[in-house]
Amino acid sequence: MNTPLSRRTALQAAGVVAAAGLAGSIAGTAQAAAADETGTTGDSVVVHPTLPQVPVNNSFTVKVRPLGGTWQKLGVHLAKLALIDATTGSNRAQNSSWAAFDFSGTVEVEVTYNPGGGETFRIRPDSYGIKPEVLGSTARFTLDRPRNVVVQVDDKIFDCLHLFANPIEQDVPAEGDKKVMYFGPGLHTTADRLLKVPSGTTVYLAAGAVLTSQVIFENVENSRLIGRGVLYNSPNGALFIRKTENVTIDGITILNPRYENVRVAESRNLTIKNLRAFSHQGWGDGIQLYCSENVTIDGCFLRTSDDCVALYTHRWDFYGDTRNITVKNCSLWADVAHPINIGVHGNSENPEMLENLTYENIDILDHREPQVTYQGAIAFMVGDSNLVRDVRFDNIRVEDFRWGQLVHMRVEYNPKYNTSAGRGIENVYIKDLSYNGKNADLSIIAGLDADHAIKDVTFENLSVNGRVIRDSGGKPGWFLASDGVPMFTNEHVTNLKFLTTAEAAAAS
């Protein structure tokens, strides 16, 4: 339990933005301008206006304040999540909660579980080390930087709170600017529920803005979608980005899309940051990426009803390699399928490749997939003549998940999705991967045959429940290091290594 929370001077507390609704949005904008001039705002909080037509959820009451300031209540809204029945395949939507605010400095958070009876509170990801002060059905904790956290009461998977603590906005676009599509607080849509964004244009969703159209960036460059608003009930995926150059997505939340949250194809120099997305319907991927290069996915929270982040090459009328992709500082929660998925779709007639893929500083919060051949918190399912090479994972923390495997790495031919086998997987380096839990099934690394193989895979400092898996020592001499995961590997995997950090340094 934390020590009692301290109070600061009245002067420090004066930075509070105490208004809600539209006034809160205006105050937040003014405060952001001040921050831009001075470089600091002290301890300050911006509460977002009410979201029209987005249902509330009353499981939690959430309050925030700067240290020593006045408590302000947040709006808590409904997020629908997926629970697949492994016997019937039916998808039963589950109710959950989310809330968001902006702050600078240090903020106190108070969360009350309104049904009562809560005995334990857990703030996830566990790697943040946040231990709340608990009194009855109320927990209190502090945040000293922007973070996306999940507050779980008595380990409830669905009846939990997803809390998104943003930095205070700076450089907010001006309403009336000819190069800005400005959506202020309120409900917005378009006649055909499609919003097509021209080149050189910023779409700004202010806090409190709800847009019910799909946003499309196609054949454009130098455009943005930014703000603290919400894409809600999008008709055919929330965001479609194709054949673009220099597009940025920053700060928005996606709720209840039909199908995937974000689909990217044939694009270059794309940044997706601080995106929060939920889905509960079938094929509800977080970010699908096809035939694109120089893409950064940074600081996102994705809780999805299919893969959280999936990287492919060809599908439909998308063509080209996928390369130079970085996924970092993200929290991934897959209620269905994989948090990380690589390589399923490609071009059998004119083979393509995925290369130079980097995943770093990622928390995998959950993975639930009953189908053995579709499991894997980290999954390579390489088909359609794809070659996957030069992949690096660094500092990946996997919390105990409900159902699946830690690592699933296969070159395969899956007739459901593929027209040919994958060509291979080469040069994968996995550093500081940790798993703490008891639910992981047998991991798999397997090539298809001698011509469709896996080679040069290294695990450095792979930790399973605190035990470092290594080729030398720490096991009976006749055991394989992979038995300690446990992991099945076949004869079409060559140069598989399990090293300690010291051994890796000595070998470099």
pTM over 0.85: yes
Considering the domain architecture, whether residues 275 and 145 belong to the same structural domain is answered as no
Paired strand residues for 354: 322, 388
Considering the domain architecture, whether residues 376 and 487 belong to the same structural domain is answered as yes
Considering the domain architecture, whether residues 360 and 492 belong to the same structural domain is answered as yes
33: domain range? 10-167
Is residue 218 in a domain? no
Give the DSSP letter string of 305-323.
Answer: BS-SEEEES-BTTB-S-EE
Is residue 179 in a domain? no
Is residue 477 in a domain? yes
Is residue 443 in a domain? yes
- Tokens 């919003």 locate to 195
Mean pLDDT score across all residues of the chain = 92
pLDDT in tens, 184-226: 999 999 999 999 999 999 999 999 999 999 999 999 999 999 9
Alpha carbons 264 and 284: distance in angstroms, whole number: 14
pLDDT in tens, 66-103: 998 999 999 999 999 999 999 999 999 999 999 999 99
* CA-derived radius of gyration, the chain: 23
Q: HSE of 358 in the Cβ direction (CA atoms, 13 Å)? A: 14
Considering the domain architecture, whether residues 281 and 158 belong to the same structural domain is answered as no
- Residue 117's pLDDT is what? 82
Which is it for strands 72-73 and 60-66: parallel, antiparallel or unpaired?
Answer: antiparallel
Q: For the domain that residue 484 is a member of, what is the CATH number?
A: 2.160.20.10
Paired strand residues for 99: 163
What separation, in Å, do the N-terminal and C-terminal C-alpha atoms of the chain show?
43
Q: Per the structure, how many domains does the chain have?
A: 2
| Phi, psi angles (nearest 5°) of residue 115 | -65, -15
Considering the domain architecture, whether residues 284 and 429 belong to the same structural domain is answered as yes
Q: Please determine, for residue 35, whether its predicted confidence score (pLDDT) is greater than 90.
A: no
Q: Pick the last residue of a domain from 152, 167, 182.
A: 167
Q: Pick the last residue of a domain from 142, 167, 192.
A: 167
- CA distances (Å), origin 37, targets 43, 46, 101, 341: 16, 18, 22, 43
Is residue 23 in a domain? yes
Considering the domain architecture, whether residues 155 and 274 belong to the same structural domain is answered as no
Whether 447 contacts 477, CB under 8 Å: no
Paired strand residues for 80: 95
Considering the domain architecture, whether residues 160 and 263 belong to the same structural domain is answered as no
Q: Pick the last residue of a domain from 167, 183, 198.
A: 167
Q: For the domain that residue 29 is a member of, what is the CATH number?
A: 2.60.350.10
| Phi, psi angles (nearest 5°) of residue 268 | -135, 150
pLDDT in tens, 329-386: 999 999 999 999 999 999 999 999 999 999 999 999 999 999 999 999 999 999 999 9
Question: Residue 229 corresponds to which tokens in the numbers above?
Answer: 């608003």
What is the average per-residue pLDDT within 165-192? 97
Is residue 2 in a domain? no
- Cβ atoms within 10 Å of 262's Cβ, excluding its own: 26
